[in-house]
Structure 1
Amino acid sequence: MTDSTTQGPILVPIANPETADQLVSTAADIATDTGRPLEVLTVIRVPEQVPLSEGERLVTDEREILDYAADLVSDPAIQVSSRIRFARSIASGILSVAEEQGIETILMGWRGRPRRRDIILGSHLDQVLRKASCDVLVKRMDGDEELQQILLPVAGGPNTKLAATVAGSLARVHDAEIRVIVVHSPNETTDTRDEKETMLEGVIGGFTGVPVITQEIVESDSVGDTIVDQSKDVDLVVLGATSEDLFRRSVIGSLPEQVGRRSASSVLMVKEHRNIPSRLTRFISHLRREILRF
């Protein structure tokens, strides 16, 4: 649970200096712990009526922002590169760079604004979360935090391992405590409770090099309320996406979204890449075989 399962580059899209500090700092922490390179990116949206080849004339202070972001990485052992991409949309620019450069993790910032119609986290974020062929981390910033305590909720979901991996990296770099919690709901079955507690044991047993690890099992009518309440006593909440919708109607899951908007601390939501199309293809093939049997 502690070592990164991927060693490819971490891509950090930067829009302005206000978000650069925390995003690059978090990415650099993970890179320091795992020995991975960083790619800092600014995407300039080029209107449809303007050829992409003429995008250079739209550049203003983006190069200075990239230089500033790259200079934030103080560890000389971290390989840092930066680039500007001209694209028709911010999301398409991020996704194309991720594909071309073999990116294995994208770290993006989020302001935690309320939903707008069908937009969940934000138009760019939603598209990247839906389409990226790599892991995606989304950080809701809450000012400059001194990372001393990290809250890691464990619900047994598909992204728990990645959440634990990221939390472990940050804890080791900052010499921080990790508080691992499991929240049981009154209507849960015994099997569900056992599964979550087994996952808890696996997470705890998988950590190495973390100075302090505490664990707690909580009974509550509301998992989200409990996590939000406990966020008051920590500097960062790291939790995995819960969405497993086969047709990708949700980008992160209702619980992480709820916690992300209401948490008293910064929040880092993680979503591991899964080859959903191939799973769908296997499901359709299985369904066809079953139909042919009758």
Structure 2
Amino acid sequence: MDETAQQTGYERVLVPVGDKSDPNNLTELASLLVDPRHGAVQFVHVTTDRSFVGSQEAWRTGSESVAQSQHQLRQQGIESTGSIRTARNAVAGILEEAEEYDADAILIGWTDTDAVSRIVEQLLRKADCDVLVFRGDADPTNAESLFVPVVIPPDENRLRMTAILSQRSEAPVTFAYVVGNENTEEDGWEVLEKSATGLEAFGVQAETELVNGNDVIGKLGELSADHDIMVIGTSRGWWLRQSLFGRKTDEIAETAQCSILMHKWQGEVPPE
């Protein structure tokens, strides 16, 4: 995103869609994140079935999903286009489409299937643009509260994205810090103050919350019950990295009592 994005949103968002309805409300989320005046959303369905019968069916169902999503955004006055692509695998197809479309963000759903988890992880590592991964059953346009756990002050790219989401949804932001065995309340208040100050630079005021607890994931699950969307990152400084990658990818999602939006900004290197 460029410097004006703190008020307007992404300019070119790519949304991969499957052959079913939108289970993660990605279309609604795209409407919040894209620049409503100059931005556009491209929906893409990737098929890997090269047999004649399988390919025809994949194109038919994929086209229906793409058309449905396009129509939904056009009703809101947001420019949207669609594409059906055949590739050797889903990740390759999405990355090829993102490059051709010159996307500044990829928005993809997060489910509890191993196949989808592997696709998400590869996109987080390989995409040359922002990647946003969303899991939630509720319409994000109806969100009334955003929850952002922190252990270090968020990068300005994540703060910018959070500000866009807050401004477009009119949902207030709460930063939370969990004090455990390896940190102190003083550390926590310092991080919270810097996080709130950073977000304020993008025009959004935030609340802060400091709690004690050695079970970080469990505590975040408890706190999330009072919010609608939890925003988390994937940086090397992120304390949940072992849960967000590897075989425990879905642990956060299973514990959280709200929707989850995982954000990797362009150029950020996920942990090994």
- TM-score, length of structure 1 as denominator length: 0.75
Go from structure 1 to structure 2 and tell me whether the alpha carbon gap of 1:4 and 1:222 turns closer, same or farther (over 3 Å shift): farther
- With over 3 angstroms needed to count, the CA separation of the structure-2 counterparts of 1:194 and 1:217, relative to structure 1, is closer
SS at match of 1:19: coil
Aligned to 2:259: 266
Rounded Cα–Cα distance in structure 1 between residues aligned with 2:234 and 2:122: 15
Question: After the TM superposition, which residues 144-155 of structure 1 pair with which residues of structure 2 at under 5 Å, given as runs?
Answer: 144=139, 146-155=142-151
Q: How does 1:112-151 map to 2 (within 5 A)?
A: 112-113=112-113, 122-144=117-139, 146-151=142-147
Match of 1:286 in 2: none
Amino acid in structure 2 at the alignment position of 1:181 = A
Aligned length: 261
1:287 aligns with none
**Normalised TM-score (structure 2):** 0.80
Amino acid in the other structure paired with 1:218: V
- 1:31, 1:37 within 8 Å by CA — same for their partners in 2? yes
Name the counterpart of 1:106. Answer: 106
- Identity %, equivalent residues: 22
> Residue 88 of structure 1 aligns with which residue?
88
Deviations 1:68-113 (A, max 9, x none): 001111331x321111111111111001111122111101001234
Structure-2 change in CA distance of 1:143 and 1:204 (3 Å): closer
Matched, 1:41 2:34: no
Residue 43 of structure 1, CA deviation: 0.7
**Which residue number in structure 1 is paired with residue 233 of structure 2?**
240
2:14 to 11, 28, 31: 11
Determine the C-alpha separation between the residues in 2 that align with 1:154 and 1:80: 34
Q: Output one character per residue of 1:173-220: Cα deviation in whole Å (capped at 9) or x when no partner.
A: 222121121222232269954762453243342241x4x632112232
Unaligned runs of 5+ in 1: 277-294
Deviation at 1:13, TM superposition (A): 0.4
Q: Distance in 1 between matches of 2:131 and 2:23?
A: 17
Cα distance between partner residues in 1 of 2:57 and 2:223: 49
**1:160·1:239 contact (CA, 8 Å) conserved in 2?**
no
Contact 2:133 2:261 in 1 (8 A): yes
CA-atom RMSD, angstroms? 3.5
Q: 1:21–1:32: structure 2 CA closer, same or farther, 3 Å change rule?
A: farther
Shift of 1:243: 4.2
**Secondary structure, counterpart of 2:60 in structure 1:** coil
Query: Matches of 1:251 and 1:95 in 2, distance apart?
Result: 25
Match of 1:59 in 2: 59
C-alpha distance in 2, partners of 1:93/1:166?
25
Q: Can you give the 5+ residue segments of structure 2 that lack an aligned partner in the other structure? A: none
- In the alignment, which residue of structure 1 is the partner of 2:182? 187
* 2:219 maps to amino acid: T
